[in-house]
Amino acid sequence: MALTDEFKRILGEAGIDIHENLKDAIRNLEGKRRKYLEPLMQFMKLLLQLRNSRKNPEEDYILSPVADENGVFYDSRSCGDTLPKNADANGAYNIARKGLMLIRQIKEAKELGKVKYDISNKAWLNFAQQKPYKNE
């Protein structure tokens, strides 16, 4: 399914110009035009989902909605052998990376008794995006 085409269709049917401020235009939908919010949100969920699977266990893959620094969207169906191939493997991979983050905090602490184990979303996203372990 071509999500871009579906978004254009729904927004067009709602009378929204895609070259305008979409956030304001969607927020200002009134009356009968609000019916377009439901299909719009369904397509947003599809756009943002990471895990894609069906009942068939062979069809379980990750497709990232976020491009990397080279503009490439991660697709586990063509990632090779060094990266996670499904959501379970991805979860294990990120648990291991959080472990690396905590080990790094311990190593950098001046006093072990005063280590502040920071696994907040902000700290995790910074660590995951900066990948400081790649330089070690």
Total structural domains within the chain: 2
In 3D, which of 76, 74, 72, 46 has the Cα closest to residue 58?
76
In this structure, the answer to whether residues 28 and 60 fall within a common structural domain is no
User: Is 64 found in the same domain as 17?
Assistant: no
Pair 86, 56 in one domain = yes
Q: Which helix (H) or strand (E) holds 104?
A: helix 87-108
The reply to whether the predicted model has a pTM over 0.85 is no
Q: Are residues 69 and 33 in the same domain?
A: no
pLDDT at res. 23 = 92
The 3-state DSSP class for residue 69 equals coil
Find where tokens 């969607």 sit.
26
Tell whether 11 and 58 lie within a shared domain: no
Whether residue 37 is found in the same domain as residue 57: no
Per-residue pLDDT of the chain (136 residues; tens, 9 = 90+): 577 888 999 999 999 999 999 999 998 888 888 888 889 898 888 888 777 777 776 778 888 887 888 888 888 888 888 888 887 888 888 999 999 999 999 988 888 888 888 889 999 999 998 888 888 7
What is the Cα–Cα distance from 32 to 132, expressed in whole angstroms? 51
Predicted local distance difference test score (pLDDT) of residue 20: 92
Q: So what's the pLDDT on residue 68?
A: 83
Shared domain for 29 and 69, answered yes or no, is: no
pLDDT of residue 10: 92
Q: Are residues 60 and 44 in the same domain?
A: no
Find the domain containing 64 and state its range: 51-135
Distance CA 84, CA 91 (A): 9
Domain final residue, candidates 31, 48, 65? 48
